[in-house]
Amino acid sequence: MLEAAKEIYADGTFDITPGLFAQFYTVHVRYEKTAHTIPCLFAFMANRQKATYVRMFQHLRQLCPKMCPEVVMTDFEDAALKAFQVVWPNVQNKGCFFHLSQNQRRKIVKSGLQEFVDSDPSIDLQVRMVRAMAFIPIADLDEVWRELMDIVDERLDPLITYFDKHYMGQMVSRRRRRPTFPQDLWNMYDRTVQGLPRTNNSVEAYHRSLNTHFAVSHQSMWVACEKIQSYQQKLDSDYEEIIAGQHPVRTRPGSKWIKAEKRKHKCVLAYSTVTNKLDYLRGIAHNLSL
């Protein structure tokens, strides 16, 4: 599956990691016929340095010499992003929208804005409109961002400054600096139009399932290996469900999420007919959770 995969999804989790290791890393592939994902690689990592990621991916390439992914979706961890580029130079990195949302929430909390946002529905909507920028075509980002900045409450300035610097690229002498995260990394417009996954939600779902399976955090290495072996039996069952056209219970989305995704997709498909881009942002924002 890894050698045939055009897209792979990767992420780390920490609770189940034995004390000697920094994280438990998983690589998943999307089964083309059903668009479901399934884990294909488990790895305990001693640290989260670029060199360690490179060694792991190089070993993976040795195990799967024909593996040549076109797209890899992961979180916004710089070391992992760069390591994928080292081992597969032509791969396109895509940031997971779920992790973009997490980064925004962390900034809100760190800036002391959480209570302010939670207590005012209009402010809550403005915060989600910032996140909805991911669903604007890249060619229109500058124009729509300027319009949004004009109407956002000034008390959200820490969030706006953060997003401007790290995702848009701050203006200097009428030109934008290169942001920490390039726009094509986090922009989800084209993937939404094409009906492609925009998040690592299925990866996160498997991680939650793993945490439940392990039951106790930070077990010994030997116990952890035994747990993974028994979990693999469940994954084999999941794979049989996937090739039969079913959705494994472990990663089955809720009906509320499915309905929101359909509404979001409908909004994005209508983008070219929209004259008021702020109305479009609000439409997307109403279908995003904080």
CATH number at residue 227: 3.30.420
Domains: count for the chain: 2
- Say how far apart CA 200 and CA 74 lie, in whole Å: 7
- Say how far apart CA 166 and CA 182 lie, in whole Å: 8
| Residue-level pLDDT at 172 | 86
Q: How is residue 92 written in tokens?
A: 């396109």
Domain check: are 130 and 181 in the same one?
Answer: yes
- Say how far apart CA 58 and CA 215 lie, in whole Å: 32
What's the pLDDT tens digit per position in 57-103? 999 999 999 999 999 999 899 999 999 999 999 999 999 998 899 99
* Residues of the chain where predicted confidence (pLDDT) is lower than 70: 32-35, 200-201, 249-254, 290
| Residue-level pLDDT at 201 | 66
Domain check: are 109 and 53 in the same one?
Answer: no
| Residue-level pLDDT at 158 | 97
| Residue-level pLDDT at 250 | 62
| Domain assignment of residue 238, given as a range | 7-96+199-251
pTM (two decimals): 0.87
What's the pLDDT tens digit per position in 184-213? 999 999 999 988 877 766 777 777 888 788
Burial track 24-56 (b if 16+ CB lie within 10 A, e otherwise)? bbbbbbbbeeeebbbbbbbbbbeeeebebbbeb
- Say how far apart CA 63 and CA 107 lie, in whole Å: 40
Domain check: are 131 and 142 in the same one?
Answer: yes
| Residue-level pLDDT at 19 | 83
- Classify burial at 103, counting beta carbons within 10 Å of its beta carbon; exposed 0-12, middle 13-18, buried 19 or more: buried
